[in-house]
Amino acid sequence: MKVIVGLGNPGNEYNQTRHNVGFMLIDALAKHLNITIWKDKFSAKIAEGHIGSEKILLVKPQTFMNLSGNAVQPLLNWYKLGVEDLVVAHDDMDIEIGTMRIRRKGSSGGHRGIESILVNIGDENFARIRIGVGRPLPGWTVVNHVLAKFAGDDCVKIKEVIQSLLPAIECIVKEDVDKAMNKFNPKKVKKQKMPKQETTTVQTGPETLEGTGEKL
Going by the annotation, the residues of the binding site are 14, 64, 66
User: Do 56 and 50 meet the contact criterion of CB atoms below 8 Å apart?
Assistant: yes
Burial class (CB in 10 A: 0-12, 13-18, 19+), 24: buried
Which residues line the annotated binding site for tRNA?
Answer: 14, 64, 66
Known catalytic residues are 19
Residue type, 94: D
> Using CA atoms, how far apart are residues 189 and 182, in angstroms rounded to an integer?
14
